[in-house]
Amino acid sequence: MDSVWSASGFSATLLMWTVMMGLMMLPSSIPMLRAVAVVSRGAQTRGERGTPVSIVTLGYVLAWSVFSAGASVVQLWLHGRMLLSSNEALIDGRVAAAVLLVAGAYQFTPVKAACLGHCRSPFPMLLHRWTPGTAGAIRIGFAHGTSCVACCWPLMLVLFIVGVMNVLWIALLAGVVAIERLAPGAQWPRWVVGMALTAWGAMLLA
């Protein structure tokens, strides 16, 4: 346990989660970043201060870094109690089933629907939270990232079922997130994913 909770161990785990979340979530945030760039250019043509897209991106990654810190704590806690396999997947099938059922049920909640709406359409957020300059850019990125964390955190817990470093599943979950956020029709993707996760959890319990 001492080695698991060492500063170097936690830092390495946090870095892994942060990079992983960035690679998974940033591609589907490109429309939001483009919207920021358009609004920023419009402000600059009017002689106003712009909002740097790079700083907005930093704020977005910061929000997912907070999630990554929590995920790192969970992973190290499970690892220290030998509840994870060699590929960092949950050993207890009942716990894995519970995680899947919770993740599946969350897909049907109003919270998921509302947060997904914020992720899919950034313009209301930009309208109400727009502030020029570096500090404003951080706030915009962090606010959007927080909405996306609230939208997607149960999906990210699926990595504890399939293996935290499972590259195939990382790519698959990134694709699921992109479909939910970018595909036409705001409802059907989350319903399909919710039914699939619920069925998977039920099979593990059977």
The yes-or-no verdict on residue 76 having pLDDT over 60 is yes
Q: What is the pLDDT of residues 44-63, one digit of tens each?
A: 787 777 788 889 899 999 99
Which is higher by pLDDT, 183 or 90? 90
Mean pLDDT of the 121-135 span: 71
The first and second tokens of residue 37, run together, are 């760039």
pTM for this entry: 0.88
Closest among 148, 146, 111 to 31, alpha carbons compared: 148
What CA–CA distance (Å, rounded) separates 26 from 152?
Answer: 13
For the stretch 10-28, pLDDT in tens is: 898 999 999 999 999 998 8
d(CA 162, CA 185): 29
The yes-or-no verdict on residue 2 having pLDDT over 50 is: no
